[in-house]
Amino acid sequence: VQMEKQVVDGLREVFQSRSRPLQYRKQQHRALHRLITERQADIEQALKQDLNRNTYNTSLFEMISIENDIKLAESDMADWAAPRPVKKNLNTALDDVYIKPEPLGVVFQLHTVFHFCCLGNAAVLKPSELSEHSARLMKELLPLYLDKEMYQVVTEGVLETQELLKQRFDHIFYTGSSTVGKLVMEAAARHLTPVTLELGGKSPCYVDKNCDIAVACRRITWGKFANCGQTCIAPDYILCEPSIQDRIVEEIQKTLLEFYQKDPKSSPDYCRIINTRHFDRALALMNECTIALGGESDRSKCYIAPTVLKDVLPHFKIMQEEIFGPLLPMVTVNGLSEAINFINAREKPLALYVFSSDKMVIKRMLTETSSGGVTVNDVLMHYTVDTLPFGGVGNSGMGRYHGRHTFDQLSHHRACLVKSFAMESLNDARYPPLTAARLRKAKFSSYIEKTPTTRWPVTAMMSLPVRL
C-alpha cells in the first residue's frame, strides 16, 4: 500500500511543477509520435503475439487512429486550452468572464489507449494484464520517450490494481466490463473521484428487409469478426425478420469466403482469442444454439472460427452477456416495433447499428432507442470520426472521448470572473439596505440579451448558494 501511495503522491508533486505549460504538452505529443513511428515494428510484433494480429490489421485498427489523434491534439491544443469567453450581463459588461480549461491532476488510466495521457495530466497507466506482450512493451518503451516522472506504467495484477484504486486520483479512466466498471466506480466514490467508464455491452444490429442485404452483410461480417470479435463496439447480435434470416446467413457465408478463404485458421487476417480462459467462456456460450456457419475451434491455438448462430432465443445464455468473441447470434423479430421493444427491454448498449433503405425505419430507430453511439448502414465507423464523442450511456458507461472531447473530459472547466474596481455604483443593487427600487435594478442588470425577444437569466451573481 505504501508503494502505491508513493507513486501517486510523487506524480502529484511533479504535476504541480511541470504539466501546465502548453509547450510542454506539445513536446510530449511529439515524443509519443516518435515512439509509434520508430517502434512500430515492436508494437506490431507484440500484438501478433497477443492476438495473432498481422501488420495491416494493427495499422488499420490501432496505429492510424492513434497517429491521427496525436496530430489533431498537437495542432489544436492551443485552441482547446485557450480561455473560452462567455456572454456577459450588465453587471459584468466591463469585466473578463471566461471558462479556463485546466488539467485535472493525476489520472489513473486502466486498459485505455495511452496517448490520452499527454493532455496535461500526470498519469498512472495500467495496460490490461491479458495482453501481456503489449503491456510489457508499453512499460519498456514509454519511459524512453515520455517524461518518466509524469507518466508511470504499472503491469502488476489484480491485487496491485486494487491497491492503486484505494489512492486518491483526480480522474479514473477505465475500459472494460460493466462488472469491473462498477468496482472501479465504487473505489472512486471513496474520494469523490470522477470517472470515465467505457464498458461495452451487447450492441444490437437490426437488418431491415428493405435494404441492400449483400452490402449490409459484408459490412457486418467485417465489423463482427475483425480482431476475432474482441472489440467493444462489435455488433453483438443481429435482429431481423424470419423471412430474411437464411438470406443473411448465405451472404455472410459468401463474405467469409472472400475475407478469410476456405480455412480462416490459415488466414493471416484472422486473429485469435486473447487466452484460454476467454476461449472457454466464449465456447460455452454456444451450448444451446443452432450453428448455421462455422463452429470449429482449437483450444491449443485459442482459435474459434467465425460462427453464425440462427434461431437464437432471448433466454439463451449467449444473450445474457457481452460475447466479445467471433460468435454472431441471430434473433428473429416480427418487424421494426418488436425490434425496438427488444432493444429497449435490455441495458442501453455502447453502439447500435441499423441497416435500412427506409428513412422512416431509420428515424424511428434513432428516436425510440438509446445507445452510446449509432451508425446507420455500417458498423464501427462512428468511432473513426474524431469530431464525434465516443462513450456509453447507462450500463455501457459514462463520459466521452475523441479529439476535443477527450481534452474536455480530462480537464476542469474553471469558471473565471475578473472584475474591475470601477462602476461601483452598479453594485448598490445588492448591498443593504435593500429596497424595491434596488431589487428592480438588480433584476434588470442580471439578464443577458440573447435576442430581441428572448432573455437568459444569469443567476450566478444574484442567487448565491446558501448553506444551511
Is 198 catalytic? The answer is: yes
pLDDT at 462: 35
Give the pLDDT confidence of 255-270 residue by residue, as tens digits.
999 999 999 999 999 9
Measured distance CA(198)–CA(110) in Å, rounded: 10
Grid cell in block for residue 89 = 450581463
pLDDT at 425: 82
Delineate the domains of the chain, giving CATH numbers in brackets: 1-200+402-414 (3.40.605.10), 204-395 (3.40.309.10)
pLDDT at 450: 55
Is 232 catalytic? The answer is: yes
| Closest-CA residue to 419 (of 99, 92, 100) | 92
Under 8 Å between Cβ of 220 and 238:
yes
pLDDT at 117: 66
Q: How many CB atoms lie within 10 A of CB 168?
A: 15
Position 401: which residue type? Answer: Y
User: Looking at 62, 74, 198, 322, which residue is catalytic?
Assistant: 198
Give the chain's residues under pLDDT 70: 1, 19, 113-117, 447-468
Measured distance CA(170)–CA(153) in Å, rounded: 17
User: Looking at 118, 232, 271, 289, which residue is catalytic?
Assistant: 232
pLDDT at 335: 96
Measured distance CA(393)–CA(203) in Å, rounded: 12
Measured distance CA(20)–CA(24) in Å, rounded: 7
Grid cell in block for residue 198 = 467505457
Q: Is 435 exposed, middle or buried (0-12, 13-18, 19+ CB in 10 A)?
A: exposed
Query: CA angle 27-30-31, nearest 5°?
Result: 85
Strand-strand pairing, 237-240 and 204-207: parallel
pLDDT at 1: 57
Give the pLDDT confidence of 113-139 residue by residue, as tens digits.
666 667 889 999 999 888 899 999 999
